[in-house]
Amino acid sequence: MLKKMKLQKTSKGTQSIEERIQHIQKQELPKHIAIIMDGNGRWAKKRGLPRVAGHHEGMQKVKPITRLANKLGIEVLTLYAFSTENWIRPKMEVDYLMKLPQEFLSAFLPELIEENVKVEMMGHKDKLPVHTMKAVQKAMDDTCNNSGLILNFALNYGGRDEIVNAVQNILQDAKNGQISTEDLTEETISHYLMSKNLQDPDLLIRTSGEIRLSNFMLWQLAYTEFVFTDVLWPDFSEEDLLEAIEEYQRRSRRYGGIQSEGKEQ
């Protein structure tokens, strides 16, 4: 049974964030962190605000989390921004969500460029409004030569849809004689996914208390460590990210094997 981890901001006593960062960096870091940013609506409801206020606050939270991930030396940060199922939400809310990338990137892009962060996106671009895709494409173009943290937005993305799309492309290439289905491997399928240029996530964090994947990176999360927290995304702090990474570092990743004498897996 999957359990939620309560993030304990006081668990490190009087240790400063800088001291925790230094300690974390001495141990094995997750190279790829994926986050399901959940709880914006509930955050707003608790304060008597419209849901869009929660989405705006959640967007602002991306900045400090990205800065810290980059500072730690994380290689990839994937954020689940908008799913293929989110289109069924009220039109006013969807329209607002589609404006957020433009607002966010226009303000944050200069810093991303300066800090050597590379912006990428996975998801179907064709259904996104022109102004949304234009903002995202500009950010990708302007940071394409950066070599630091990859800030990867999952936008109009769904895990099952991704797998179906991969299978369709594999069948088409097999029909055209480009690949042989007899030689089909896990690596082949991974190559046809939207994340083909990224390694699979080492750590998945989901905020807001929900314990499910919500159709997110279903193939890629096969051996990922999960951390579920009750903290709503707009309240998710740098300390919460550090605690999640510390929890990851306390675990033993065995990939289906067994641990022997605390060393071999």
Tell me the binding residues for Mg(2+): 38, 225
Tokens of 72: 């730690």
- Residue found under tokens 């007899």: 182
Burial class of 130 by CB neighbour count within 10 A (0 to 12, 13 to 18, 19+) = exposed
38 catalytic? Reply is yes
CB 214 within 8 A of CB 83: yes
d(CA 137, CA 195): 17
CB 216 within 8 A of CB 77: no
d(CA 39, CA 170): 37
70, 86, 169, 230: which is the annotated catalytic residue?
86
Secondary structure (3-state) at 143: helix
Expressed in percent and rounded to 5, the helix, strand and coil fractions of the chain are 45, 15, 40
Tell me the binding residues for substrate: 39-43, 51, 55, 83-85, 87, 89, 206, 212-214
List, as one string, the DSSP characters of 94-160.
HHHHHHHHHHHHHHHHHHHHHTT-EEEEES-STTS-HHHHHHHHHHHHHHTT--S-EEEEEEEE-HH
38, 200, 202, 240: which is the annotated catalytic residue?
38
d(CA 204, CA 69): 14
Ranges of beta strands (E only) in the chain are 32-36, 76-83, 118-122, 150-157, 203-206, 225-228
Residues identified as active-site: 38, 86
